[in-house]
Amino acid sequence: MSQPHSGPQALTQSPESLRRNGAARAYVPASPQVQTAWTVRRMRPMDRLADHQPDRPTARPAYTLRRYEILWRAPNGDIRDDTLSAPALPLFEAAFNAFARGALIPTPQGPVAIEDLLPGDLIETVDNGVQRVDWIGAMMLDPKGTRSPEAKPERLYRVMADAFGLGRPAPDLMLGAGARSLLRADALKATYGTSQAMAPVPSLVDGMSVIEVTPISSVRSYHIGLARHSLLRVNGVELESYHPGTAAAGQLQGDLRGRFMALFPHLDGLGDFGAMAQLRLTPTDMLELTFR
């Protein structure tokens, strides 16, 4: 991910000025002394609850926390950044784990590596034309499973060149567990009424065209948020921008809702993610399709 300046100057830089100053290369989290805008002007649900119950002892969370890095575009066009600790739960992690370094995102000026994008940049989508990047999330993968006693090693998925057809992808494409690829199959119609849907990339592993790999050291993964959930042709493969999905409201109970939305300071609630562009398949759906 690209590296904004630290300090007050970082809150007033446009994408163009950041690039002129050599900031669009490797992302480094902002200094913890910088107070970002959302902590000043917006109070999250869990903060309001704490204010009304000052004498209530703080309960120990029943989940492990991990660090998430965010860049977002403020209403005035400025780029803001923060690094937050939030639950290490699949719904949270999926928002930061779709693309590995080197994934080429189409822009009007040509393909740009995911780590060189900034909020405010224009990118080309398959279904909604040119859109502006509102949000970019990143996290460090844990390939050894050392982040907690119950943690499992985190993997990447290599999609080999031409795996889905000529130039799809080109070249090889490295993806995270949160990536979903557009699947076209007539077998979908009988059950779902459509011949295309988004398939989780881990369910496409076959050992030849899509291969599960374990990085030798910790690496950064990314995801992109747009105003409208859209398809992106990344290295020639149709993948989706970030959306939490229709089940998120039921999964985010109690203080989890506030913790989750704190990762998206440019939005006020789950409804602001908008409608989903395509039907999503689960790993169980993929297994059922395999045995039909």
Tens of pLDDT, residues 174-217: 999 999 999 998 889 888 999 999 999 999 999 999 999 999 99
φ and ψ at residue 221, rounded to 5 degrees:
-120, 160
The C-alpha atoms of residue 231 and residue 6 are separated, in whole angstroms, by 32
DSSP-assigned beta bridge partners for residue 112: 105
Rounded (5°) CA angle 11-17-23: 80
Q: Which two tokens stand for residue 182?
A: 């557009």
pLDDT band of residue 165 (cuts 50, 70, 90) is very high
**Is the pTM here over 0.85, yes or no?**
no
The C-alpha atoms of residue 174 and residue 97 are separated, in whole angstroms, by 11
The arithmetic mean of pLDDT across residues 32-61, rounded, is 43
pLDDT band of residue 150 (cuts 50, 70, 90) is confident
Determine contact, residues 70/82, Cβ cutoff 8 Å.
Answer: yes
CB atoms within 10 A of CB 285: 18
Residue ranges with strand state E in the chain? 65-73, 79-87, 99-100, 104-105, 112-113, 122-124, 130-140, 156-159, 173-175, 180-184, 196-200, 210-213, 220-226, 231-234, 237-240
pLDDT band of residue 52 (cuts 50, 70, 90) is very low
pLDDT band of residue 61 (cuts 50, 70, 90) is low
Look at 1-5, 7-11, 185-189 and tell me which has the smallest mean pLDDT. 7-11
The arithmetic mean of pLDDT across residues 141-159, rounded, is 90
The C-alpha atoms of residue 120 and residue 133 are separated, in whole angstroms, by 5
The C-alpha atoms of residue 248 and residue 267 are separated, in whole angstroms, by 15
- Which helix (DSSP H) or strand (DSSP E) does residue 258 occupy? helix 256-261
Beta-carbon contacts of residue 253 (< 8 Å; ≥ 6 apart): none
Instruction: From residue 166, give the alpha-carbon distance in Å to each of 102, 140, 162, 234.
Output: 20, 32, 5, 14
The C-alpha atoms of residue 261 and residue 135 are separated, in whole angstroms, by 13
